[in-house]
Amino acid sequence: MLDIKLIRENPDFVREGLTRKNEPDRVSEILELDVQKRKIQTESDTLKAKKNKVSDEIPLLKKQGKDVAHVLEEMKALGEQIKVYDAELKEIELKLDEIVERIPNLPHTSVPTGKSAEDNVEVRRWLPDGTTLESEKKYLDHLELGKKHGILDFERGTKITGSGFPLYRGKGATLERALISFMLDYHINNHGYQEVMTPFIVNRDSMFGTGQLPKMADDMYLAERDGLYLIPTAEVPITNIYRGETIDERELPIKMVGYSPCFRREAGSYGRDSKGFLRVHQFNKVEMVKLVKPETSYDELEALVGNAEAILKALKVPYRVLLLCSGDLSFSAAKCYDIETWSPAENKWLEASSCSNFDNFQARRAKIKYKSADGKKSDFVHTLNGSGLATSRLMVSLLENNQTEDGRIRVPEVLIKYTGFDII
């Protein structure tokens, strides 16, 4: 959530940011409601001050044996007037909240201006020694490999649930599990994250806190009877661990990593990239989340991207890092890097990670603050998160890049101790 004071005091700055993000400009509307709100609040507060003062005097007057009937009468009328103001105030606040809650975060100054994914900027590329993207080699795609070895069974996954719910079998299931364990261990042991295992279904407050609600409601699975949502990413439960809390600054930065399945309805994207793992409704992901002091957050973002890249280097998977342009940023993000892995069979890059700094946008919504050691200063933390990484697209690259001439699949060196086998 944007700070109403920022909108009030720097409306043009906010307008510019929203324009960069291709968002409609509702700043004037907000400012108008804000003025109305404060005007009514001032009037209501003045009356309340009077009410409080007189109410304090009543017992004293009674003690003196004075007749207070006319005072009570007066106060009753005052109370009615206050009710009228408060009802009006509430109505305006509701309107204001409804708008402000749907205003996205502003892009950071270091984010390039652009309209869509076309304008994202490739900042670096990494290929394992001896590999090139152009190859004479004939690659089977992940579906063909999955079928050939009986490790992926999309047809039966569809039978169980519907399309986009993958079924892994045999060494495929083991490889998936190995990948998750490897990534978790790597971040815990080499990058200093604390492992967390969270609920995978969350309430509305949590979804609001990280910014999925109210705008992205249609993209999520909802257990309506209970008012609970299946998480689209572990970012939601992990970030919300600290919702409503004030953290001692000496505890920052807090770095957490957790595995979760992710559930996405992908409403409106049917038919696009629908092949196999390229777009699914359920996938596995290891997610890193950091709560940090404001002045460090953009450095922490660079470190976060580095943490995700380290996994791909260890697995020897070709990848590139993109700096997203303003127009391609998600609702809550101020700055974001995507990591894409190479698919030789599709002959394209696949998004496997997204690492974002949310500045204080989520912290405001989730009310996560920190307090200085001397207790004098308190402010919102900055939150960050990054996939480290999502297994589905990574699995595509992993299977395809590691296939041998005869169509078998070599298990990357670092995963062998997790799988117990070195070839499929």
Partner RNA sequence: GGAAAGGUGGCAGAGUGGUUGAAUGCGGCGGUCUCGAAAACCGUUGUGGGCUUCUAGUUCACCGGGGGUUCGAAUCCCCCCCUUUCCGCCA
Please identify which residue in 373, 404, 405, 406 interacts with RNA, judged by CB under 7 A: 373
- The Cα 362–Cα 360 span in angstroms is 6
In degrees rounded to 5, what are phi and psi of residue 64?
-75, 0
Candidates 69-77, 112-120, 183-191, 257-265; binding stretch for RNA (CB under 7 A):
69-77
Contact partners, residue 405, CB within 8 Å, separation at least 6: none
Please identify which residue in 28, 32, 62, 302 interacts with RNA, judged by CB under 7 A: 62
Least spacing, CB of residue 286 vs RNA, in Å: 24
Please identify which residue in 118, 224, 374, 405 interacts with RNA, judged by CB under 7 A: 374
Distance from the Cα of residue 368 to its chain's centroid: 15
Candidates 23-31, 38-46, 266-274, 403-411; binding stretch for RNA (CB under 7 A):
38-46
E strands, 264-368, in order:
282-292, 319-323, 335-343, 348-357
- The Cα 367–Cα 381 span in angstroms is 9
Instruction: Tell me: does residue 51 bind RNA (CB under 7 A).
Output: yes
Candidates 72-80, 333-341, 345-353, 395-403; binding stretch for RNA (CB under 7 A):
72-80
Residue 260 structure tokens: 């979760």
H-run or E-run covering 373: none
241-263 burial code (b ≥16 CB/10 A, e <16): bbbeeebebeebbbbbbbbbebb
Biggest alpha carbon–alpha carbon distance for the chain: 104
Window 75-104: residues binding RNA (CB under 7 A): 75-76, 79, 90
Least spacing, CB of residue 407 vs RNA, in Å: 39
Number of residues written out for the chain: 424
Instruction: Tell me: does residue 41 bind RNA (CB under 7 A).
Output: yes
Candidates 41-49, 137-145, 271-279, 416-424; binding stretch for RNA (CB under 7 A):
41-49
Please identify which residue in 54, 201, 252, 314 interacts with RNA, judged by CB under 7 A: 54
Candidates 37-45, 187-195, 309-317, 402-410; binding stretch for RNA (CB under 7 A):
37-45
User: Of the two residues 160 and 373, which places its CB atom closer to RNA in the complex?
Assistant: 373
Instruction: Tell me: does residue 149 bind RNA (CB under 7 A).
Output: no
Q: Is omega for the bond preceding 179 within 30 degrees of 0, making it cis?
A: no
Window 223-282: residues binding RNA (CB under 7 A): 246
- The Cα 128–Cα 313 span in angstroms is 7
Please identify which residue in 55, 110, 135, 161 interacts with RNA, judged by CB under 7 A: 55
Least spacing, CB of residue 262 vs RNA, in Å: 22
Query: Please, which residues bridge with residue 351 across strands?
Result: 340
Pairing status of strand 228-230 against strand 246-248: unpaired
Residues binding RNA (CB under 7 A): 4-5, 38, 41-42, 44-46, 48-49, 51-56, 58-59, 62, 72, 75-76, 79, 90, 246, 369, 371, 373-375, 378
